[in-house]
Structure formats: C-alpha cells, structure tokens
Amino acid sequence: MDALFTIIRQVHPLVSDALLLKLGQMLHREELTRKSFLLTAGAVSRKMYFVEQGLVRGYYLKDDKDVTTWFMQQHDFVISPLSFYRQRPSFEYLQLLEDSVLYSVSYNQVQELYREFPDYNLVGRVLTEDYYVRSEIRAHYLRMLSAEERHTIFAKNYAPVMNRVAVRHIASFLCLTPETVSRIRAKKL
Amino acid sequence: MDALFTIIRQVHPLVSDALLLKLGQMLHREELTRKSFLLTAGAVSRKMYFVEQGLVRGYYLKDDKDVTTWFMQQHDFVISPLSFYRQRPSFEYLQLLEDSVLYSVSYNQVQELYREFPDYNLVGRVLTEDYYVRSEIRAHYLRMLSAEERHTIFAKNYAPVMNRVAVRHIASFLCLTPETVSRIRAKKL
DNA sequence: CGAATAAATTGATATAAATCAAGATTTCAC
DNA sequence: GTGAAATCTTGATTTATATCAATTTATTCG
C-alpha cells in the first residue's frame, strides 16, 4: 500500500492525510492466483486495481483468438478504460499472468473520493493523463512500425515482462502470430 | 465560446462563475486557414485548442508518407497528448483540413487554472477520461478489424467527416493505402 | 516422476494488402 | 476559365505475414 501512497504523493504532494486515510480504509487487498480474471467481456468493470506485485494482461477476443492490448506490472493501475470510465459492458478481458497481490477500490468508492475530496481529482487527472499517453504510445508503435521493429521496441521497453510471458502473448500484443515472432527471434540469433 | 462553456457545465454543473470568467479571459480566438499547422513534429505542444468550427487532422510521418491518427471536429478539444501532457517534442503534426475557428489556451494557463480553481481538475479529469476512451476505441478498431471492416466502421462513425476529407487521409487513418480504399469503395457500389 | 497436454518452432503454401505503373478525374492557381 | 498539379482509380506484380501442417520442446498435474 506504501507504493500506492508514494505515487499519489508524487503526483500531489499536498494531498491531505484524511484522504489517504479514507483511501486506505477503502482499499481491499486481494491475493489472486495466475489465470484469475479481473474482468471478463460482457461484464461492467466495477473495480480499479493497483498491482502491488504480479502481472496482468488485457486482451480482446477476435474470432477464437485473443489479441493482447497491454501488460501491467508492479505499481501500475489496472482498469479497462472504456468499461470502467463509462460503466459499460467490457470488450476486454483482464487476466493475471502470475499469482499477484492487488489492491482494489470500487467505481463507487472512487466517485465518493472525488466528491468528498476534490483534491483527489488532481490525482485522478494526472494519472489518467499518464495512462492515456502510454496508450497513445502503444497505438503509435502499432501504426508506425513493422513487425520486426515492434518486436525490437517491445524487447527494449518491456524487458522485465519479456521473459515472464508466453511467446503467444507477446505475439498477440505485437499483432502478430506466434510463428512470426518465432521466426523474428530465430533470425536475431 | 458558448459551446465550450456548455461542455464544461455538462461535466461539472457547479463550476464557479469566477472560473468561467477567468477561462473566458484566457481563451484566444484564432481564425486559421486550411493547411495551417497547430503543431509540427519536433516542437513542444504549448496550446490546447477547442474547435469552434472546422476540422483538424493529427498525423505522424512514416518515412515520407503520413499516417493519420485522428480527426477532430466541431466542439472537440485538440492536443497532441504526449507532447502536451509531458511537454516533450511532438511526434505528431496537427493540421487544419478546413478553414477553422479555434479557441486556444496555453499549457501554462491551463496549469494556472488547475492551481487557482481546484474544481477545474474535475473537468480536466472527466474530459481526459473521455478522450482516452475515444483513443482506446480507435486503437481497438485498428487491432481487431480487417481493412474492409475498418472502412465500414469509419463510414458509419465518421459520417460527417467522410465527405470532407481526402481519400488518402481516410486511407492513412485506416492504416491502408489510397489504392486499397479505392478498391473497397468500388466493391461496395 | 512421467504421461498427457500445451506451447514453441520450423517448413511449405496462401493471401491480404502494398507497391509500381498508367490513365482518368478533380482541384487549384494564375 | 484554362492549364498545371494533385488526387483518385484501375490493373499487374510483389511482399510481408498468416495459415496450415508436422515436429520438437516445455509445462502441468495426477
């Protein structure tokens, strides 16, 4: 929980103790095993998670195959933006790739914080901006780079994730087949 | 300017008059002609725009060709998220596709509003969430849909834009060549 | 541990979309 | 309004990556 508070204080050093106290009371620690779902398609995302430890994958189903949209790791916040912000049924699945420790707050609790502690809107705004930018960067890579370039960038930017996830998940994140990633790898050795 | 205030009041009905007054004083009306740049690659985005009337395109250069990332129209806010939020040099070009009327505020002015009127963080947060979701939806379509499906969705979701922009811009938005879009169109008649 | 299952690799072929090239049409500028 | 330039369309060919199929390697769990 300290990591979470540290991030909030980095964003907004003057945040009140009352707010952090309240948030601390709301946070629900969850220890979940690999392959647990935080959200499945069709359901409405009711919780925001903070990854204390572990690894989470967001993906969509395309026909029968899945397409990974992102990986979130230690000290990241995890939601499905469309479903959480608009409280609409999700396209996306959120699934743990490792046994993980998470802190969660419900959508309603977050709204309550925003109401009761207007300061919290600053924190929410800045963090939303940050995750928005991250998402833009991912989309940028998808649009601008060839298969091989995407793989190179991934290997560089996601080094700590690279060795922890299955090739087929890396492949689907890069919008490629596992075969293609296998061949790119073979070529580089 | 009314349209902008209306949007802010929709997001936050209790927003103070003092805030709107201050914002009104900061806003700079700009009438710019087609092809004007709001931002070029390499520069740091210093302004946020509100489109009173007109059409704006965001794009990257890939080798010598350009790749469109979005179109923004009447009553949309326009920034290059990475460059504006992080105040870093832009990858992206922002260019008018039509003669337009815009309202702008500088990055520093926006920060001043956030400081002076903490309430404004609520507005900023909610709008950021909304544009983040829109961006996610665009990325989702790119990942999940075939060339033809992307074209169909575009024709449906961007109907008012469709007839106003060049085929090559539609093509690059769909991550296709103009030739391919031409063929898709021909097939549908 | 060791069988069963899933995942990764490698090779052969297919395919969607890009590229290259030429002509038709539209738009722009003087 | 007319010529020049840009854009769009259509066709032929190429190419990157997907798909299909078979084998090897890794993982799971009883």
Q: What is the pLDDT of residues B120-151, one digit of tens each?
A: 999 999 999 999 999 999 999 988 888 888 99
pLDDT at residue A74, as a whole number: 94
Contact B177/A at CB under 8 A: no
Q: How far is the CA of A95 from the C1' of C3 (A)?
A: 29
Could you tell me the end-to-end alpha-carbon distance of chain B, in angstroms, rounded to an integer? Answer: 42
On the question of pLDDT at B84 being above 80, the answer is yes
In DSSP terms, A56 is beta-bridged to: A72, A96
Q: State the Cα–Cα distance between residues B2 and A89, nearest whole angstrom.
A: 33
On the question of pLDDT at B51 being above 90, the answer is yes
Residues B74, B158: contact at Cβ < 8 Å?
A: no
Average pLDDT over residues A112-139: 96
B86-111 pLDDT per residue, tens:
999 999 999 999 999 999 999 999 99
Average pLDDT over residues A5-23: 95
pLDDT band at A75 (very low <50, low <70, confident <90, very high): very high
Q: Count of CB atoms within 10 A of residue A65's CB? A: 11
Q: How far is the CA of B62 from the C1' of C19 (A)?
A: 16
Residues B85, A130: contact at Cβ < 8 Å?
A: yes
pLDDT at residue B65, as a whole number: 82
pTM assigned to the model: 0.94
Q: State the Cα–Cα distance between residues B114 and A120, nearest whole angstrom.
A: 12
On the question of pLDDT at A146 being above 90, the answer is no
pLDDT at residue B180, as a whole number: 94
Query: Residue B68 corresponds to which amino acid?
Result: T
Residue B136 contacts strand D, CB under 7 A: no
Q: State the Cα–Cα distance between residues A44 and A108, nearest whole angstrom.
A: 13
Task: Catalogue the long-range contacts made by A121-126 (C-beta closer than 8 Å, 24 or more residues apart).
Answer: A121/B118, A121/B119, A121/B121, A121/B122, A121/B124, A121/B125, A122/A11, A122/A12, A122/B114, A122/B118, A122/B121, A123/A8, A123/A11, A123/A12, A123/A15, A124/B121, A124/B125, A125/B114, A125/B121, A125/B124, A125/B125, A125/B128, A126/A11, A126/A12
Residue A103, helix vs strand vs coil: strand
Average pLDDT, chain B: 93
Q: State the Cα–Cα distance between residues A122 and A126, nearest whole angstrom.
A: 6
- Helices (runs of H) and strands (runs of E) counted in chain B: 9, 8
Share of chain A above pLDDT 70, in %: 99
pLDDT at residue A189, as a whole number: 63
Could you tell me the end-to-end alpha-carbon distance of chain A, in angstroms, rounded to an integer? Answer: 42
On the question of pLDDT at A21 being above 90, the answer is yes
Question: Phi and psi for B157 in degrees, rounded to 5?
Answer: -80, -25
Chain A environment of B139 (Cβ under 8 Å): 69, 135, 138-139, 142
For testing contact with chain A, the best of B8, B19, B115, B132 (most A CBs within 10 A): B132
pLDDT band at A54 (very low <50, low <70, confident <90, very high): very high
Residues A20, A54: contact at Cβ < 8 Å?
A: no
On the question of pLDDT at A63 being above 80, the answer is no
On the question of pLDDT at B40 being above 80, the answer is yes
On the question of pLDDT at B187 being above 70, the answer is yes
